[in-house]
C-alpha cells in the first residue's frame, strides 16, 4: 500500500511542477502571435508528434479490455476502432453541426476529467457535469477573446452554430466564471497544492487565449498540458520508475504515432487538391482528432466501467 501512496505523491509533485512550467511557457510564448503565418504548420507538427502520442497506447488498453470481455483476437479491437473512427468522419461530412457540437461537448468533459489529476473521493451525480464545466474553458476562451478568428476556423469545418446571437459575450463570460468556480468545488477537501494546480491550469488557458491565435492556443494546451499530463499517467502505468517508464512509453508510442501521423499527411495531400492548404490542414486536424477522440474516450470508459465490476 505504501508504494501506491509514494507513487501518488510523486505524480502529484510532477503534475504540480508541470503546471507551473506550462504556465511559464504560456507567458514566454505569447509573442509567437506576431509570426502567425507559420502558426498552422507549427500546430500541425506539434499535434502529430506530441498530441497524437498520448493516445498511441490505446492498442495496449484495447488488449486489456478484450481480455476482460473474454475476446481472444486483437483484430476485434483494431476493426472496432477503425469502424468508429470512419463512422465519425462520415457523419461529420453529412451532419457537421450535430457531430461537431457533440464532439465539443465530449471534449469539454474529457478535458475536464482527464486534467483533474486527483481522485474525487465521493462522486456525486453532478460530478460529471462539473468536469464538463471545468473543461469548457478550453472551448469558450478562444470564442470569448477571438470570436471572429475562432469562427473562421469553424467555417472551414462547415460549422456555424457559434455565430448565433445566443452565444453572447455575457453567456461566454458566465461559462468562464462557472468553469473557474468549479475548480474550488472539485478541489474541496484537497490540499493547497491541488487548488493551486487547478488555478494555474485555468489561468494558463486564459493567458494563451488572450495573446495567441485560437489554433496556437489550443495546440499548446492540447500538446503540452493535456497530452503530457495523460502521458505521465501512462508512463507510471508502464513502470514505477519515471526514467524506465518514459523509455517504455516512447518505444511503445512510436509505431501508432508514426502510422497516424503519416495518415494525416497523406489526407492533407489529397485534400489540398480540393481546398487551400490551410483549410485542408484545419479539416485534418479537427476532423482527424474527432475521429480518434470518440473511440479513445469510449475505450477509457469501457475499461473503467469493467474494472469496477471485476
d(CA 84, CA 292): 9
pLDDT of residue 2: 57
Angstrom distances, CA of residue 135 to CA of 30, 267, 301: 22, 29, 17
- Which of the pair, 39 or 245, is modelled with greater confidence? 245
- In tens, the pLDDT along 20-61 reads 888 888 887 776 665 554 578 888 888 988 888 877 778 888
| pLDDT tens profile 205-244 | 999 999 888 998 999 999 999 988 888 888 888 888 888 8
Please give the model's pTM, rounded to 2 decimal places: 0.86
Asked whether residue 4 carries a pLDDT value surpassing 70, the answer given is: no
The DSSP-derived string for 116-132 is --S--SS--TTHHHHHH
Distance between CA atoms of residues 201 and 68, nearest Å: 35
Residue 135 has pLDDT above 80, yes or no: yes
Residue pair 74/63 in contact (Cβ under 8 Å)? The answer is: yes
207, 26 in Cβ contact below 8 A? yes
CB 186 within 8 Å of CB 132: no
> What does the domain layout of the chain look like in residue ranges?
2-30+42-309
Task: Copy the grid coordinates of residue 34.
Answer: 506576431
What is the distance between the alpha carbons of residues 310 and 306, in angstroms, rounded to a whole number?
A: 6
Sign of CA dihedral 233, 132, 201, 119: negative
Amino acid at each position: 500500500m505504501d508504494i501506491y501512496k509514494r507513487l501518488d505523491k510523486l505524480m502529484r509533485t510532477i503534475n504540480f511542477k508541470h503546471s507551473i512550467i506550462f504556465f511559464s511557457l504560456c507567458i514566454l510564448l505569447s509573442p509567437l502571435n506576431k509570426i502567425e503565418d507559420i502558426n498552422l504548420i507549427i500546430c500541425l507538427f506539434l499535434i502529430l508528434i506530441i498530441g497524437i502520442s498520448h493516445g498511441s497506447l490505446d492498442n495496449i488498453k484495447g488488449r486489456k479490455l478484450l481480455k476482460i470481455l473474454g475476446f481472444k483476437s486483437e483484430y476485434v479491437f483494431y476493426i472496432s476502432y477503425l469502424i468508429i473512427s470512419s463512422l465519425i468522419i462520415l457523419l461529420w461530412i453529412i451532419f457537421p453541426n450535430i457531430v461537431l457540437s457533440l464532439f465539443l461537448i465530449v471534449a469539454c468533459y474529457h478535458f475536464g476529467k482527464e486534467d483533474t489529476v486527483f481522485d474525487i473521493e465521493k462522486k456525486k451525480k453532478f460530478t460529471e457535469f462539473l468536469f464538463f464545466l471545468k473543461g469548457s474553458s478550453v472551448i469558450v476562451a478562444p470564442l470569448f477573446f477571438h470570436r471572429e478568428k475562432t469562427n473562421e476556423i469553424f467555417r472551414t469545418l462547415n460549422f456555424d452554430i457559434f455565430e448565433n446571437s445566443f452565444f453572447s459575450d455575457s453567456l461566454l463570460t458566465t461559462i468562464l466564471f462557472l468553469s473557474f468556480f468549479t475548480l474550488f468545488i472539485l478541489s474541496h477537501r484537497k490540499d493547497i497544492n491541488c487548488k493551486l494546480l487547478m488555478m494555474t491550469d485555468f489561468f494558463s488557458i486564459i493567458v494563451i487565449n488572450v495573446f495567441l491565435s485560437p489554433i496556437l492556443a489550443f495546440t499548446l494546451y492540447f500538446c503540452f498540458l493535456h497530452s503530457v499530463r495523460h502521458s505521465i499517467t501512462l508512463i507510471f502505468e508502464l513502470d514505477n520508475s519515471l526514467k524506465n517508464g518514459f523509455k517504455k512509453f516512447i518505444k511503445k508510442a512510436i509505431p501508432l504515432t508514426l502510422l497516424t501521423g503519416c495518415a494525416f499527411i497523406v489526407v492533407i495531400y489529397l485534400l489540398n487538391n480540393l481546398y487551400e492548404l490551410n483549410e485542408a490542414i484545419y479539416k485534418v486536424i479537427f476532423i482527424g482528432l474527432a475521429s480518434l477522440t470518440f473511440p479513445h474516450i469510449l475505450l477509457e470508459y469501457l475499461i473503467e466501467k469493467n474494472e469496477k465490476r471485476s
